[in-house]
Amino acid sequence: MGSFTKRLRTRTSKYFYDCELRRAGILESLHATPSDLDNPIHPIFSYKNFSQLPAPTYKTLALSLRFASLLITEIHCLEWWVFILYGRHLPIQTANKQRSILLPIHPITTAHLSATRDYLLGMADRINFTFNAKSRAYGIQFRSKAGRNLQLVQLSGKFQGFIEDGGFASSSLSQQLRFSFFFALNIVHELSHAVFDTRADSMLSKEPYFAHDVEDGLLYREIGDSWERFVFGCKIQPLDGDKGCPEECGYGLHMFTPSAHGEDLIFGAVPMEYVSALMSKRGWEAVAERGIRMLRCPKATICALDIVVKSGGTGGSKRTCSSSDINHQTSLKPDHARHLQKITP
């Protein structure tokens, strides 16, 4: 039995009890089946771009990379990449600093889509992925010494370690699907930074605000977070555990809206049914038929009040919800419940 499974069964009182999370539908899906995704892996994620990764580890990541490939090629998802490649900067002045808002393209034409597909294919020769065991971040994008034309993405070495230490193999099917989902999310998050940084007018330290965020009253400049909101409607991270420990996604995932001003953040749990559905052909058929709204994450409430994380202070973040507060039922809004019924087996 891997160390991950041992820890899952011996949770301390400061965490949610796994039996409660299971009953809430956060840890396990009754409908989980092995993923049937068999779409090609995009050349960006080809093995040659993971030069330091052993072939067996890359093979284990194949499902993640198929899912990541859909996130950059499916026509509704492709609109984001059109936006960050061809969107127009609108200069603005904020707090005595010169910033800009990136405005979307209207309308998006077949020429835009075709040019973006070609551009992303070309990125396959301009990017490299590595893993850093000492990294405290899930992923970091930066330019190589050659400049913006060779992008580097450094992912947490704990993704690699979790596979090679046997944690992935000893996990349940739901945990494996959730890990694959979370790795794909992170690699595409960093790819957003990398693709935008290839623009001639990009500056690493001055990413713009994004029009769809500003329209929702969110003033922050983090292109990866904006991509997550565009696709999933929220940012998604492990429900429990330390930042930079991606294997903690085995305990479940949470969703939230990133804050630009340090106020309290309201968290909701991500239903495992949602993750399982998106790792299937049927889920992506629903996206093709009904649009990107089918990728939006429904919210499952696992406690009487949503989990509140208070930012700032020397103590760091603190969850105010205790295990005794947890309901044993997943609470989904009616439209979200219908959403899941449409795309789950």
Question: Per-residue pLDDT tens for 168-177?
Answer: 999 999 999 9
- Say if CB 270 and CB 254 are below 8 A apart: yes
Using CA atoms, how far apart are residues 14 and 319, in angstroms rounded to an integer?
Answer: 9
Using CA atoms, how far apart are residues 103 and 87, in angstroms rounded to an integer?
Answer: 5
Instruction: Give pLDDT tens digits for 103-124.
Output: 888 899 999 999 999 999 999 9
- pLDDT confidence of residue 9: 35
CA proximity to 137, closest of 153, 155, 116: 155
User: Of 71-75, 92-96, 210-214, 260-264, where does mean pLDDT reach its minimum?
Assistant: 260-264
Instruction: Give pLDDT tens digits for 308-324.
Output: 333 333 333 333 333 33
Angle between helices 62-73 and 75-86 (to 10 degrees): 70
- Say if CB 17 and CB 11 are below 8 A apart: yes
